[in-house]
Amino acid sequence: MSDPRVEGDTTTVQVLEVLEPGLLTTVQDAGRPGLGHLGIPQGGFADPWSGALANLLAGAPAEAPLLEITALGPRLAVLAALAVGLTGADLGAVAGTADAIRAGRGRRLDPGRAHAIEIGEELAFDPTLAVPNTGFRAYLAVPGGLAVPRVLGSAATSLAGGFGGLAGRALRAGDRLSSVLPGPARPSGTTSAPWSDSPSRPFLPPGTVRGRVRVVPLGASRPAPLEHLCSRPWQVAPTSDRMGLRLDGVALPSGSGEALSHGVVRGTIQVPPDGRPIVLLADHQPTGGYPVVGVAADADAAVLGQLAPGDEVRFEAIPLQAALEARRAVRDALPGLARDPANSGAGRWDELWRWARG
């Protein structure tokens, strides 16, 4: 067992070592809001629902730092027994000894649950076990959250800015990750999110549909070709990233091309001169100058964050009030999990704290 290290008021223990980093694995949290006037993006979880849920399943605060895993997952050595929260896309997570995993005998870790993993095991992602059409990003959380220095108030990795997370970069082999509140949190069996057995919309927030994005029109003085946007499907282009989804399809009529830059939000749908829309994601720039046709309901942030290159996406115009109700439904679904000690592991905190303090 690793020795706990006390740093100031915080006890940390090394819990994971990166053996292979995967395609793009970064530390993310709820981001750094309130700095748009300095040009600094909020950043944070690309799929905020899955990020918060993974943390709650692991027994961490909803906004705590965790690993955001893109398409092809990492291989991690487990340095301390702990319970991890796993959500988002099913990228084929397995746990077990290195030999067992290599022989295809690893324990399969389903998303939407907390899983106990043991010291000396590996936690890996086998792409041959990944389930198609479940999304693009998985979230892996540890009890108490990852111990990562805050930069401008957040541990979120800004890849474009080169700061936050682990020196502003994606994980690489040899990185060691510590948990703020580690411990032998062993859930009796596994803990599941209540809707995770619904095959029609696995792991997405209530009321949302994979590949469907609801859009709130702009004000009366800014009419825009929303009918065009909503009348046909679009494909997610491979040039998409955490800043924005670039969409291929029948190009929209583009406006003058360049307007005065103004503040924008996650979910803003811009139309550059080539008529192919861009939907802004977590790392979007705080201001933009392209014409805007509408803003995605924030309840669908999880849908947007789980779209992979090649996926099809459809837009549906809804009134502002409907977007508000959708937002309320998503918000109200999470605290239920947080309050339930069986899900959140919160009941174990006192015990874990004493253990970690030695």
Partner 1 sequence: MTGAVEQPRLPSVEPFGEAALLVTLGDTLDVVTARRAQALATAIRSSVGDDPRWADIVPAAASVLVRFDPLALEREAVRETVARLATEVPAAPPRPADARTHAIRVAYGGEDGPDLAALAAVTGMRVEDVIDLHASEEYEVAFLGFAPGFAYLLSVPDPIALPRLATPRPRVPRGSVGIAGRATGIYPAPLPGGWRLIGRTDAILFDPLDPDPVRLRPGDAVRFEPR
Interacting residues with partner 1 (CB under 8 A): 33-42, 151-152, 158, 160-164, 168, 216, 218-223, 258, 260-265, 267-268, 285-287, 295-298, 320, 323-324, 327-328, 331
Q: C-beta of 265: minimal distance to partner 1 in Å?
A: 5
Q: C-beta of 42: minimal distance to partner 1 in Å?
A: 7
Task: Specify the residue, 36 or 211, whose C-beta has the smaller distance to partner 1.
Answer: 36
Round to the nearest angstrom and report the end-to-end CA distance of the chain: 12
Q: C-beta of 263: minimal distance to partner 1 in Å?
A: 3
Q: C-beta of 285: minimal distance to partner 1 in Å?
A: 5
Sign of CA dihedral 152, 153, 155, 160: negative
Angle in degrees, 0-180, between the axes of helices 48-58 and 320-339, rounded to the nearest 10: 10
Task: Specify the residue, 158 or 240, whose C-beta has the smaller distance to partner 1.
Answer: 158
Strand partners for 24: 70
Query: 250: Cβ–Cβ under 8 A, 6 or more apart, which residues?
Result: 232
Task: Specify the residue, 77 or 324, whose C-beta has the smaller distance to partner 1.
Answer: 324
**91 is written with which tokens?**
């990228």
Task: Specify the residue, 103 or 320, whose C-beta has the smaller distance to partner 1.
Answer: 320
Cα atoms found within 13 Å of the Cα of residue 357, Cβ hemisphere only = 9
Q: C-beta of 273: minimal distance to partner 1 in Å?
A: 9
Q: C-beta of 9: minimal distance to partner 1 in Å?
A: 20
Q: C-beta of 341: minimal distance to partner 1 in Å?
A: 25
Encode 246-308 in three state secondary structure.
EEECCCCCCCCCCCCCEECCCCEEECCCCCCCEEECCCCCCEECCCEEEEECHHHHHHHHCCC
Task: Specify the residue, 59 or 65, whose C-beta has the smaller distance to partner 1.
Answer: 65
Q: How far apart are CA 278 and CA 156, in angstroms?
A: 23
Task: Specify the residue, 319 or 341, whose C-beta has the smaller distance to partner 1.
Answer: 319
Task: Specify the residue, 163 or 349, whose C-beta has the smaller distance to partner 1.
Answer: 163
Task: Specify the residue, 6 or 320, whose C-beta has the smaller distance to partner 1.
Answer: 320
Q: C-beta of 123: minimal distance to partner 1 in Å?
A: 30
Query: 166: Cβ–Cβ under 8 A, 6 or more apart, which residues?
Result: 27, 148, 157, 175
CB 93 within 8 A of CB 48: no
Q: How far apart are CA 73 and CA 92, in angstroms?
A: 8
Q: How far apart are CA 306 and CA 109, in angstroms?
A: 19
Beta strand 212-216 pairing with 191-192? unpaired
Within 10 angstroms of residue 99's Cβ, the number of other Cβ atoms is 10
Q: C-beta of 136: minimal distance to partner 1 in Å?
A: 22
Task: Specify the residue, 197 or 258, whose C-beta has the smaller distance to partner 1.
Answer: 258
Q: How far apart are CA 294 and CA 79, in angstroms?
A: 47
